[in-house]
Structure 1
Amino acid sequence: MTARLLHYSDVENAFDDPERIGRLAGLLTGLDGDDAVVVGSGDNTAPGVLSLVTEGRHALPFFEAVDADFDTFGNHDFDYGPDVTRELVADSPQTWLTANVEEVTPAAASDGGVDDRQASDGGAGERFASEDTEPWVVRDVDGISVGLFGVTTPATNSINPNATDVAFADPISAGERAAAACRDAGADCVVAVSHLGTEDDELAVAADVDVVLGGHVHSEIVERVDDAVLLRPGVNGRIAYEVALDVDDDGEVRVDVTRHEAATADVHEGVADAMRDAMARADLNEVVAHVEDPIERTHAAAFRGESRIGNFVADAYRWATGADVGLQNSGGVREGDPLEGDVTIADVMSVVPFQEPVAVAELTGAELKQTITQAHGANLSFGEPDWWHAHLSGATVVWDRERDEIIALRVDGDLVDDDATYTLATTDYLFHTEHEFPALDQSHRVDLGDVQYKVLAAYARENGLDPQLEGRVAWSD
């Protein structure tokens, strides 16, 4: 007997490409069967263009088509506020698992928020959307008793401004309790459905689990951590994992993993047509520019220094606000197909598919230097050492990666004066999070502009779309 898990995660803007999401649906339906459960591990309703238009409801036809069994919450599943999330949970076919997402109590609200209290309260609060969610379940799958539970990163409060009315208990202790409950209920094997990212390793060691189906971090991974197999399928619906679970007579669990590329699957035309219809109803096909030289939108373009797509976004912010400097955080630039040929509103929205406005801050030169220093991956709480996390306009930086410091920072060609005042245009999100550019806070913000993608569209209409590499970010080593 073999139980199979079909795992996908972080589908995000794959919905904006009807063929791509259709192929993922075709892959999952082709692999499905009585011996399988279909499991998502978060960020499968947002972000994306259609997500902005439908507030996540565009995902429902996909969930129905693939006969989704389980999911857990990603940070972006709260992009439109907890009330919208509750409605999505109630209307979707799968069981949403959460052992650590909680409702905010009246006492917490009167205290002015949740913050670290909920991350250390041991999970004593009421479970989020408790009528439609479960902390854990045990399911008989082809004669094998499989326990599953869900956990979400407690950083969600600080990386998603719309999630501040939700509380998060410590996911590791919550996962330990849920795994033990699954074992007590007779589970032969236990599966963590996790949107923790890099904390998956800690969960795999602490909790009595055989498999961690992970998400949040967009790089693919298949590895063994302690006694558990840890998986993350990456982003945008390109990959799904088939996990085979076998239990021998001594209760030992064998885990085999097969990687499947959605691009090789037949298109599920029902799902593809549903996305096409949603795009047509949203009237997103207006052409705002024409691109002769395709503009790459890869992980490398976002995180490895200066790129044409990053320059486009930062230039648009500075153009729209008249600020001295434009800055776009790399994590906000979403991966996708290159911008080429006729570029539509939908294409532009997919670059930064959020409802955040562009904001303007006033900074001293010293504060501007501190902000740019925090762009180096080694200085990010979730970064990798070779990341660069800032796309710039109106400024150039020379960075010493060995010494982790600025060699030269110029604005409009002049070296930055520590005592002078500079204006900086960026996404308003950065004033609400401590995880990226913590030197920026709401005391620096002096103005709010239009929503990001509207700024990009206006810039493209007015100026065309042909960004160039200009040496805005350079390395001294």
Structure 2
Amino acid sequence: MRVLHYADVEAGLDSPERAGRLATVLREEGGDDPVVTDGGDTLAPGVLGLSTKGKHALAFQDAVSPAVATFGNHDFDHGRTAAREVTWESPARYVTGNVMEGGQPFGDAAPWTIVDRADGALGVVGITDPDASVPDSLAVEDPIRAVRTAVSELRDHGVRAVLVLAHAGDDVVRTVARQQGVDAIAAGHVHRVGRERVSGTPIVRPGVNGEVVWELDFDGERVTTDDHDVERAVVDESVAEILQAERYRVGLEDTVGYLEEPLVRDTAKRLVGRERAGSLVATAYREGASADVGVLDTLAIREGPRLSGTVSRGDVVGLVPFAAPLCRIEVSGRTLSRLLRESVVTDDRAARGPGAYACWLQVAGATLGVADDGTVESVRVDGEPIDGNRDYVVGTNTYVLGSDEFPAVDRRHLLAQGDDQYEAVVALFEQGRTSGIPDGFVEPV
């Protein structure tokens, strides 16, 4: 029995060629009749999903026929109704043991399912990380308890093996791996390609945007794993043509500007506040809100290819493909100083970056002097120290206002909301104002 696992396809479906290669791998690898599994974040974030409410993913799922899928946190980006409709229309059986609505698994999902093949029955459990950004209207219960309950019930049904689809971070996934009765974990949520064993249980992660497909072989006493590189696969033209036609239909191929200097998304540089892409989006927020300072959450900027030369609407929206309004807020100088200082973190979030700290906001209009250990030595707005006795206008988004990651600000500071935040980035390109953007906002001290 073999499983082919993908997860976090996200913006991979915005690239018809990438999606076509991924479809080929899922159709042609894994031997006869493999069990294809979807680890979540297939409906979003991505540019096409903003127009289709995630339903563009159904064309891909119809092509690759996943047997089982679970929910990623971004699968709810377009709202519960849209997520529920895709769940009903998908060829996959959705499973979740811990994303609940009204005391039941969301969207008519099951807590677990059994997939029968000629060589045995595979039990599949689905879980989502409670710390992920699932809507507050849904209850995300203890994933470890959900796995224990499902394993017990599946073993009573005599399954040959139990696979956990875990859209979750490392701590949750590794704890699940230590549970008795779990044979393998096909994970998502963390955007890296990798595999490891914890307490003998294999864990695989396929990265983001369709980087690899993991194959799990349950035929021997020990589950073995192998990765299939999507980049080298032949494009499935039938899938590519459907998605390309959809891009034209919603205007994603329209030209919006030109870049004389390539724009490269570099997560490591962004996390230390020295990346031009982060500064560009923050500048768009600042100008779009007519503000003194622009800020956005660092993880809002999605991975993707570098942009250069003629740039399309889809290219630009793909930098921050979230339907969140651009917000204009007013804060005191003391509050602004607190917001910017607290955005340089040295806790466990710093492990995502290359050094002792991570910048949890991207900033325009202000500079931070930061020591190697993450100590913020200075904060300046337009080259001048922040005046604690005056008010400042800040352009940001609703996530920053609503997240407990940025406790200095909330909706009490809101002056106005505008169009979806990515429209400000498109406007920056359309106005030809992308030159001279600085390479970051952090100055080493």
Change (3 A) 1:382 1:43: farther
SS at match of 1:367: helix
SS at match of 1:397: strand
Change (3 A) 1:262 1:393: same
Correspondent of 1:37 among 35, 38, 46: 35
Correspondent of 2:386 among 416, 433, 441: 416
The answer to whether structure 1 residue 17 and structure 2 residue 15 are counterparts is yes
- Give aligned pairs, total: 441
The answer to whether structure 1 residue 152 and structure 2 residue 150 are counterparts is no
Partner of 1:191: 163
The answer to whether structure 1 residue 230 and structure 2 residue 196 are counterparts is no
Shift in Å at residue 38 of structure 1? 0.5
Contact 1:172/1:207 (CA < 8 Å) preserved in 2?
A: no
Correspondent of 1:255 among 223, 241, 244: 223
Shift in Å at residue 381 of structure 1? 5.5
Task: State the one-letter code of the partner of 1:474.
Answer: E
Deviations 1:331-379 (A, max 9, x none): 0001111111111111111111111011122223332232223333434
SS at match of 2:20: helix
Correspondent of 2:111 among 101, 117, 135: 135
Shift in Å at residue 420 of structure 1? 3.2
Correspondent of 2:57 among 33, 56, 59: 59
Q: Distance in 2 between matches of 1:323 and 1:23?
A: 43
Task: State the one-letter code of the partner of 2:185.
Answer: V
Correspondent of 2:301 among 333, 339, 350: 333
Shift in Å at residue 39 of structure 1? 0.6
Q: Distance in 1 between matches of 2:96 and 2:205?
A: 18
Q: Distance in 2 between matches of 1:181 and 1:374?
A: 46
Change (3 A) 1:235 1:263: same
Partner of 1:119: none
Q: Distance in 2 between matches of 1:447 and 1:93?
A: 42
The answer to whether structure 1 residue 180 and structure 2 residue 180 are counterparts is no
The answer to whether structure 1 residue 76 and structure 2 residue 44 are counterparts is no
Normalised by the length of structure 2, the TM-score is 0.94
Normalised by the length of structure 1, the TM-score is 0.88
Q: Distance in 1 between matches of 2:16 and 2:293?
A: 37
Deviations 1:259-284 (A, max 9, x none): 11101101011110010110111122
Contact 1:374/1:380 (CA < 8 Å) preserved in 2?
A: no
Q: Distance in 2 between matches of 1:374 and 1:216?
A: 25
Task: State the one-letter code of the partner of 2:69.
Answer: D
Question: Bigger shift: 203-212 or 80-89?
Answer: 203-212
SS at match of 2:113: strand
Partner of 1:250: none
SS at match of 2:87: helix
Partner of 2:421: 452
Contact 1:377/1:384 (CA < 8 Å) preserved in 2?
A: no
Correspondent of 1:167 among 135, 139, 145: 139
Task: State the one-letter code of the partner of 1:441.
Answer: D
Task: State the one-letter code of the partner of 1:461.
Answer: E
SS at match of 2:173: helix
Change (3 A) 1:374 1:142: farther
Q: Distance in 2 between matches of 1:208 and 1:381?
A: 31
Question: Bigger shift: 179-188 or 337-346?
Answer: 179-188
Q: Distance in 1 between matches of 2:271 and 2:69?
A: 29
Partner of 2:183: 210
Deviations 1:73-109 (A, max 9, x none): 0011111111111110111101111111111x3xxxx
Task: State the one-letter code of the partner of 2:165.
Answer: V
Change (3 A) 1:391 1:35: same
The answer to whether structure 1 residue 284 and structure 2 residue 252 are counterparts is yes
Deviations 1:43-79 (A, max 9, x none): 0111111010101111111111111111100011111
Task: State the one-letter code of the partner of 1:460.
Answer: F
Partner of 1:393: 364
Shift in Å at residue 382 of structure 1? 8.5
Q: Distance in 2 between matches of 1:352 and 1:207?
A: 41
SS at match of 2:217: strand
SS at match of 1:334: coil
Deviations 1:169-219 (A, max 9, x none): 111111111122122211222111011123211222245312111111112
The answer to whether structure 1 residue 350 and structure 2 residue 318 are counterparts is yes
The answer to whether structure 1 residue 359 and structure 2 residue 327 are counterparts is yes
SS at match of 1:277: helix
Shift in Å at residue 421 of structure 1? 2.3
Contact 1:100/1:171 (CA < 8 Å) preserved in 2?
A: yes
Q: Distance in 1 between matches of 2:114 and 2:323?
A: 38
Correspondent of 1:5 among 3, 6, 12: 3
Shift in Å at residue 298 of structure 1? 3.6
Contact 2:258/2:432 (CA < 8 Å) preserved in 1?
A: no
Change (3 A) 1:127 1:283: same
Q: Distance in 2 between matches of 1:302 and 1:369?
A: 20
Contact 2:16/2:241 (CA < 8 Å) preserved in 1?
A: yes
Shift in Å at residue 438 of structure 1? 2.8
Task: State the one-letter code of the partner of 1:39.
Answer: T
Shift in Å at residue 142 of structure 1? 4.1
SS at match of 1:149: strand
Q: Distance in 2 between matches of 1:153 and 1:393?
A: 32
Q: Distance in 2 between matches of 1:245 and 1:378?
A: 41
Correspondent of 1:324 among 285, 292, 297: 292
- Unaligned runs of 5+ residues in structure 1 are 106-124, 248-252
Q: Distance in 2 between matches of 1:183 and 1:375?
A: 46
Change (3 A) 1:135 1:465: same
Q: Distance in 2 between matches of 1:145 and 1:282?
A: 43
Deviations 1:282-307 (A, max 9, x none): 12222111112210024335434221
Shift in Å at residue 426 of structure 1? 1.1
Contact 1:359/1:426 (CA < 8 Å) preserved in 2?
A: yes
Q: Distance in 1 between matches of 2:180 and 2:191?
A: 23
Contact 1:149/1:175 (CA < 8 Å) preserved in 2?
A: yes
Q: Distance in 1 between matches of 2:271 and 2:209?
A: 17
